[in-house]
Chain A
Amino acid sequence: MNEKGQAFTLESVVASLLLLVVAYFLFRSTLLIAPQSTQVTDVQLSQYARDTLRLLDSPANSDDTLKYTLEHINSTYSVEPLLNAIKECLPKDVMFNLDVYYFNNTTGKVEVYEITHNVPTSNTVTVSRCVVINSNEFVNGSPFVTRSAESSTYPVVLEVRLTLWRV
């Protein structure tokens, strides 16, 4: 049996394996990540959210501002003016959810008051803005005033979170 030439196959297999191993380690160790096009659209969405919250955090005594709505929220208040204002700011192909996070002194936990209940897609962007309101400015029945036997006013910090996604 003539075994001339067997070494050629073995050499090429070893060389191929060496190339693959080097490429594998190179890929694992690289810190350079190519930017994806989805990150670009996320930047625009988050900017829409940030600018919208900044616009609506206005000192005007108007029912479509953040402060006015948060002060008047109770079981009977309609938040339609604020929601309509948000819809006016955003493009037609963008949906949103609006939630308010606050500290409940009774339970000792941070709780959430959901203003909208839309179902988001898997690709969303969330931006938050803090609003500080004195406790005596809230209406009766407000979910954000949780210190029951408090005679003096105290600041209530609310975190408003706006979540956006494209449809």
Chain B
Amino acid sequence: MIYTTDIIMVIVKEEKGQLSLDVLVGLTVFMVTFIFILQYLPSIFVVQRSDISLTANAYRVAALLCESPGYWTNGSYNGTDWENHWKNSDVTVRVGLSNGNPCELSIQKILNFSELYRDKGYDYIADMFGIKNYNISLQFLYSNSSYPVYSYYNGKPLLLIGEKIPEYGNVIKFERIVYLDNASFVYNITTSQKGVNRTKLFNVTNVGTFVFVVKNTSLWGNGYGSWIQIKLSRKGWGGPKLLRIPSSGHLTPGIYSVSLPSGSLNLTIVSHNLAGYLIYSTAGQYIAGRIAAKLVVCVW
């Protein structure tokens, strides 16, 4: 016989539609592992941050400008003296500033690069180097982003092209130390007669390098030794003595660098009883017998 209580007990123990604890635990373990893998997997592949790829662009542009003399072609002829051919309509150029020696830049190529930029425009240079936004300049070695000091030549910035560097966003700067050929002017300051000084007048409007190279002193044996005086005036010539080299006593052969205040100045340079010359440049600093500056390439 079948009793009612037996049937009721069977109905009460039916488990359709219920979620067991085992399923929940298993699901949790699997989901935690799956989410961990999802977060971890992308990091093992190359993730190129935009500023890292920009650095490659800045490096490439700086290397092409500093180490290559450039290239031009019209399909039939080619060469590296692109500065003489870029104005021709059928010529394609790739700019390089080296005069043949890596990091020794030619003033003529630099001046032509500036003129090319003014003539052909911003986008032409961007397409040439495969970049989008840029600022390329030549600066003094002690120049920095907060206080840039640009190289000058004949009263104008030697190389300053591109847009103004933005104050925000990813901007990458790459610098190369270079030296410039024919970027300085040399003046003879050798005194010719006993007791007679040699005077040189200078007008300077930009930051410049003044280097006195003294080869020989006490030429005429008059007992007063040798010296150099620099007189400074904002108007006219002469003016109060700014500097005496040496400050006291007698001058000995050597190289003497002078720092001057900024602004438009009239300098009167008086040399006494010595043989030597003055090197003057507004393009860079005098280091190891060369006029050194730095090429700064900024891209964003």
**Taking beta carbons and an 8 Å cutoff, which residues of A are in contact with B?**
4-6, 8-13, 15-16, 19-20, 23, 26-27, 30, 32-35, 37, 40, 43-44, 47-48, 51-52, 54-56, 58-66, 85, 88-89, 91
Contacts and interface: CB of A to CB of B under 8 A. Distances in A.
B29 A55 contact: no
B22 interface: yes
Contact of A89 (B21, B46, B51, B141): B141
Contacts of A26: 41, 44
B26 interface: yes
A133 to B, nearest CB: 16
B289 interface: yes
Contacts, number: 119
B288 A5 contact: no
Contacts of A27: 44
B25 A55 contact: no
Contact of A54 (B49, B103, B289): B103
B68 to A, nearest CB: 15
Given A9-B22, A12-B30, A56 B288 contact: yes
Majority-rule SS of B interface residues: mixed
Interface in B85-139: 102-103
B179 interface: yes
Contacts of B177: 48, 51-52, 54-55, 89
Given A12-B30, A30-B44, A34-B43, 14 more contacts: A5-B22, A9-B22, A15-B30, A16-B29, A34-B45, A44-B174, A47-B176, A51-B103, A52-B177, A59-B289, A60-B290, A61-B289, A66-B288, A88-B142
B52 interface: yes
Given A19-B34, A88-B285, A89-B141, A58 B22 contact: no
A60 B37 contact: no
B59 interface: yes
Contact of B289 (A15, A16, A43, A60): A60
Given A55-B179, A60-B288, A85-B287, A35 B48 contact: yes
Contacts of A65: 288-289
A64 B47 contact: no
Nearest to A56: B288
Contacts of A35: 46, 48, 52
B201 interface: no
B22 A8 contact: yes
B178 interface: yes
B178 A32 contact: no
B52 A13 contact: no
Nearest to A39: B52
B196 to A, nearest CB: 29
A33 B46 CA distance: 6
B81 interface: no
B242 interface: no
Contacts of A52: 177
Contacts of B175: 44, 47-48
Contacts of B20: 4-5, 8
A160 B48 CA distance: 36
B26 A64 contact: no
A116 to B, nearest CB: 18
A48 to B, nearest CB: 7
Contacts of A33: 46
Contact of B102 (A9, A23, A54): A54
Contacts of B47: 34
Nearest to A35: B52
Contacts of A30: 44-45
A52 B51 CA distance: 26
29 contacts: A5-B21, A13-B26, A15-B33, A16-B29, A19-B33, A19-B34, A23-B40, A32-B44, A34-B43, A34-B47, A35-B48, A40-B51, A44-B174, A48-B177, A51-B177, A51-B178, A54-B103, A55-B287, A55-B288, A56-B287, A56-B288, A61-B289, A62-B289, A64-B287, A64-B288, A66-B288, A88-B141, A88-B287, A88-B292
B2 interface: no
A48 B59 CA distance: 12
Task: Pick from A23, A30, A63, A66 the residue with the most CB of B within 10 Å.
Answer: A23
Contacts of B49: 37
